[in-house]
A and B are shown apart, each in its own frame.
Chain A
């Protein structure tokens, strides 16, 4: 345990230092982090882009042999998929056919009718080719059935036998059908899909060349028809292929063809992601985004919520990238499908730490410096972060030992990802957070500066005077409440959603994101198509003046036999290089007018070598998929094409004409200067393409700019705040340090300790101005709640009063004559027995301070001595006496007299307000001598006006004068110990141990009715009991069996007395007539806490942990909640919520109207259960040697005030909130007075 504690402390300290470091040097740390991210991601460049594009590998034809299944370690350049035989060998016969010479008698259909017709003879040749004993039938890939869904293609694609496709398939490979076909173009195009298509179409499949190059249209200017006959071979026989090649070349020689024939290309296809497979993937991604959304939504109270959310996401993403990069660096190539495992990785790594960090930092006291806040927040969460991380690592390690390769790999990635995520959190995110919080503070400061110009700065500059010795009295200090923008009330949820939508323009963003995703999907699913498209654009558009020229027109002689650049390169470039074409175009530019109406020439260029590259990369997979053969994760080998050149004579073309062909409109006569229509079409197309490319580029640019802007906003605050002042950690000062070695700043609220009691304080009572405390021995001390001075001490062992002033006892008749003296000395010291009818008024002989009241106005004439005229007490009970007006007048007349001579000793006691309903006019009684019950201990105490009511264990009720310390009256009617007291108006209610409830009436008789006001000049007059008053306390009613069991709680407010007992019930009595109004049943345990206030809200908490809210008017239960495990120890209400604390060290905050738990605060074990509400939003709780201030709206800890240095063992058990926003709490044998001045300002 000790090791654990020490470890914990060390971790906290390390985190603290780290937080300081991060917050002090944000820029270098962010730069460092970015550099390390980039470094770690560098190996990723070597990885192929994630996608489904095929990869290639080229081998020579001559020494080709089918690769074995076993990996041979010798060839390092051989990819690991290149194992075993391919799915098929693809042999393409590239046919270029033209009618030449062209003469004007020919119709456009002639361009392709007769060339296409020749395909049947070539096919025949291929089918019948036999080398030694092998025929094509034996070698080719036999296919059986088309997929059932492809009925419409049945007529076109071969259904059994060899997989051999050619344009002849359109006519079932039958010449007669071809000849009978009136409209070839219609036949070709009837299978084309409508609309946008990106993958291979049937025309592509059958022609084997990109649709634009076939030349099968009416407006072709080249008049060369290109198509391929594609043969899929299941096994490779070099000699057969060579003989076929030789045969075809011999039959149809290509004049200037120097296509290379020595390389075969193996194309490996990645796993295809079908739509069916996409659905689970999309689902996981949706869940991932929901997770990220719900997580980042919790980031609150920061300057830029979106910025921090972005930073959080960036942290997670870059940690993943780093993990992949690092794994690659150490030779671990990822074999898993990255897209699939990515969401799970994110979920495993999680955003939790980041959020916890943010929350912890945000909830540190706002008045601290940013660095300290960061450091403190970090160290607060250090232990949990480390614990979580250790747990996760353990789980992942367990996963690693499953020895399933896929899981092992996942675990490896996750481990590296976790570690790098931790690194990034610590460096990147913390720093971003510090920058953000600094920005918020600056904004805050700017906003509040004009309003609080006259006040001490809530956030002093870097050189704040913290090192100065603490002021003797708590300096005016503010608990810095957050700026109004952050504190504003919670709107209803729906409204907030609407605001959120409006504020963030979510709809637009979603549309934008959707567009981006759509484009991304387009690029992903068909990268090759786009690539070929772009490449074609580049190659066609590059020379600007070329648009007017028909391409490939009469350039044959200019072409060199073989382009040196491409023949020299060992491996063909993956993309058709535009370079040779540029050259040729350059040549062409040199001969601009080469026979505009010339015969079509068949040319062979290097671009024909691998014409299949221009096809969609889906070409082969889709071809094979029609036969239910998947190419996913397999490869095909593409053999070098066999070139076939066909020259047809015009006569032949005319012979093969279909009768309807001539019905077609003749083509626009190519006049010298160019066929305008065709050219305009082409330029129009080119323009459209160019526009598309430009739009894409523009879009990409905009996205990039937006991204950079966001990054800038996040990373680059307007002001980096103070720098240059090195802030070391504060030396441990007088104030206690918390466990992280962090000393609270001196500007914190410092408590005022009231010492004097020798034992632990048992009871505490206050009426706002005075404070009475009673310790275990029975000493009662009265303090000034403002200054903390001890006014009176009432010792237990009688005899030796510790009076400030001496008093003597005078008889009642003497008292009548003592009119002009200091009758209005505050605090009547009447000690009343109940049935004594003489006036034992102890008159104050003032030897110590003769000048004490000399400066007071003479109020004698104001005093009405005619007692016969004084109204009966009952009539006045509602309003009480108010001598204020009377005294005020007299006082104003007396104004000029100096008040300086007023002694400071009991400075505030005179200003006390007279509590309403204190009845000074009652039949006088004779108090006995100081015969208080010294043997019994004080169990309950109440203070009202300047009367202290104490209930003793012997059942005696005593009334003491708070200022003079004299016993004014006592009542011994009951014998059972008084467990609780309530003092309201002129009534005292005492609850006794035996469950009975006694109502007493305090009657105060003004013996002479004289008044004298003494007070400090500016304060309003506040009359109070006079020491001359005779106070009696009469038992008016005793409810014998109020409860079956001892009464535990007694509260009185708003004319009601509420008692709670161990018999599980709460009873409500009316104070005036002590009549029991309701018995409230609802708890299943003894009542432990009750709250009632002036608004008649009654809440009760019981030993069963439930909290009930009652309507006092009707006695009905408003709500009933299970709050705690164990007793509810304390209950407080504000206008909107109920705060409860329980034995489970939890403080719960409930919504008062709905009874829903808003949140709860887990306190340390053994914390006191005392609660107090200072204002609507400020809660104070007592803890282990400290009191903590909480923001009720958010449940954030605002500040913790340590009461003393040796605070370990003592916990605050009682806590009182005074009217002036001071807090009094007991603290062992001491009392602690804590001022919260800023709240005072808030209150008024």
Chain B
């Protein structure tokens, strides 16, 4: 509440070039998409690094290559997906007419991202007895993430749908031999992948909603100007 009120002051806004740029709707959309894209790329790089480096070499020959150890197309794909999802969530909220109300603050978003990274960390680092246990734990964690930070039915539905789609896509990719997992246990992929996807969708959706708060504000302003 305090956050919201501090975001938008009652004082008259001076519309500098920055504001007017933001006010432009398509411009705003582009900015948001770009930010989400960057977030997606960054998370993809970092999390991929987590997955890749299970056996650590001491002086890695060159760090850069280990960061980009995955295929070149992976980070852009993740970025695009993040941008799409992050734009889709607020849009869906508006269409359904039930705005997301749960604790819309940046600190909460940060918490969500941290938990998401933690889930990835756990999937990469913690030694589980078997894959079923790992998958179940991660599934519980993901649902807990949703419950803690989202709690909207639309968010859950979208998350599940996108997770299923992404898993299917990964299956297809692996089936066609684009890349492969070291120890697949769920057809061709790891069984925890849907959970990770779900958690990622929730996280990115959270970020997108938070970004859309600003957009909402400026679009209102624009209506007023008209």
List the interface of chain A (C-beta within 8 A of B): 147-149, 271-272, 274-277, 279-280, 283-284, 287-288, 290-291, 294-295, 297-298, 300, 340, 343-344, 347, 350-351, 359, 395, 398-399, 402-407, 489-494, 496, 621-622, 625, 628, 630-632, 1118-1122, 1136-1137, 1149, 1151, 1153-1161, 1193-1195
Contact = CB atoms under 8 A, between A and B. Distances in A.
A271 B59 CA distance: 13
B2 A276 contact: no
A355 to B, nearest CB: 8
Contact of B127 (A271, A406, A493, A630): A406
A490 B144 CA distance: 37
Contact of B224 (A347, A395, A1155): A1155
B221 A1154 contact: yes
Contacts of A350: 111
Given A274-B56, A276-B67, A492-B14, 8 more contacts: A148-B61, A284-B114, A291-B114, A294-B109, A621-B58, A1154-B221, A1158-B4, A1194-B2
4 A-B pairs closest in CB distance: A149-B61, A490-B9, A294-B107, A625-B58
Contacts of B67: 276, 279
A287 B56 contact: no
B220 interface: yes
B148 to A, nearest CB: 9
Contacts of B10: 489-490, 1136-1137, 1151, 1158, 1193
The secondary structure that dominates the A interface is mixed
Given A347-B118, A404-B133, A1160-B1, A490 B11 contact: yes
Interface of B: 1-14, 18, 42, 46-47, 49-50, 53, 55-63, 66-67, 97, 99, 105-107, 109-111, 113-115, 117-118, 121-122, 125-129, 133, 136-137, 140, 144, 216-217, 220-221, 223-224
Nearest to B226: A1116
B133 to A, nearest CB: 7
B115 A347 contact: yes
B152 to A, nearest CB: 14
B2 A1159 contact: yes
Indicate the member of B9, B50, B136, B137 with the most A CB atoms within 10 Å: B9
Contacts of A407: 122, 126, 137
A630 B57 contact: yes
Contact of A406 (B4, B118, B126): B126
A490 B8 CA distance: 9
B56 A1118 contact: no
Contacts of A271: 56
A447 to B, nearest CB: 23
B135 to A, nearest CB: 12
A147 B223 contact: no
Contacts of A287: 110, 113-114, 117
29 contacts: A147-B61, A148-B61, A272-B56, A276-B56, A280-B50, A283-B42, A284-B118, A287-B110, A287-B113, A291-B107, A340-B125, A347-B114, A347-B115, A399-B137, A402-B133, A402-B137, A404-B126, A404-B128, A405-B127, A491-B11, A494-B18, A630-B56, A1153-B221, A1154-B217, A1154-B224, A1155-B224, A1156-B220, A1195-B1, A1195-B5
A681 to B, nearest CB: 33
Contacts of A1193: 5, 10
Nearest to B62: A149
A1160 B99 CA distance: 14
A343 B144 CA distance: 18
A298 B5 contact: no
Nearest to A493: B9
Contacts of A283: 42, 46, 117
Contact of B117 (A280, A1154, A1195): A280
A293 B125 CA distance: 28
Contacts of B14: 492
A475 to B, nearest CB: 33
Nearest to B47: A280
Contacts of B114: 284, 287-288, 291, 343-344, 347
A491 B9 contact: yes
A407 B47 CA distance: 19
A1118 B224 contact: yes
Contacts of B137: 399, 402, 404, 407
Contacts of A491: 9, 11
A403 B133 CA distance: 9
B58 A274 contact: yes
A361 to B, nearest CB: 13
A493 B220 contact: no
A1136 B11 CA distance: 8
Given A276-B63, A288-B114, A492-B13, A294 B97 contact: no
A1196 to B, nearest CB: 9
Contacts of B12: 1153
The secondary structure that dominates the B interface is helix
Contacts of B55: 630
Given A290-B110, A1153-B12, A1194-B2, A275 B60 contact: yes
A198 to B, nearest CB: 13
A588 B114 CA distance: 62
Contacts of B111: 291, 347, 350
Given A149-B61, A489-B11, A277 B224 contact: no
B220 A1155 contact: yes
Contacts of B62: 149
A280 B1 contact: no
Contacts of A494: 18
A149 B61 CA distance: 5
A808 B53 CA distance: 104
B191 to A, nearest CB: 16
A288 B12 CA distance: 34
A344 B121 contact: yes
A513 B53 CA distance: 30
A73 B221 CA distance: 73
Indicate the member of A274, A300, A1154 with the most B CB atoms within 10 Å: A1154
Contacts of B50: 280
A1137 B4 CA distance: 14
A298 B53 contact: no
Given A347-B111, A1122-B97, A492 B9 contact: yes
Contacts of B136: 402
Contacts of A1154: 8, 13, 217, 220-221, 224
A350 B114 CA distance: 11
A1157 B53 CA distance: 47
A291 B112 CA distance: 10
Contacts of B42: 283
Contacts of A300: 2, 6
A489 to B, nearest CB: 6
Contacts of A492: 9, 11, 13-14
Contacts of B133: 402-404
Contact of A275 (B3, B6, B63): B63
Contacts of B1: 1159-1161, 1195
A1108 to B, nearest CB: 11
Contacts of A344: 114-115, 118, 121
B156 to A, nearest CB: 18
B45 to A, nearest CB: 8
Contacts of B106: 290, 294
Indicate the member of B53, B59, B136, B223 with the most A CB atoms within 10 Å: B59
Nearest to A272: B58
Given A298-B3, A398-B140, A1156-B220, A632 B58 contact: yes
B112 to A, nearest CB: 9
A616 to B, nearest CB: 13
Nearest to B120: A280
Contact of B56 (A298, A632, A1149, A1157): A632
Indicate the member of A149, A276, A621, A1160 with the most B CB atoms within 10 Å: A276
Nearest to B116: A287
Given A491-B11, A492-B9, A1153 B224 contact: yes
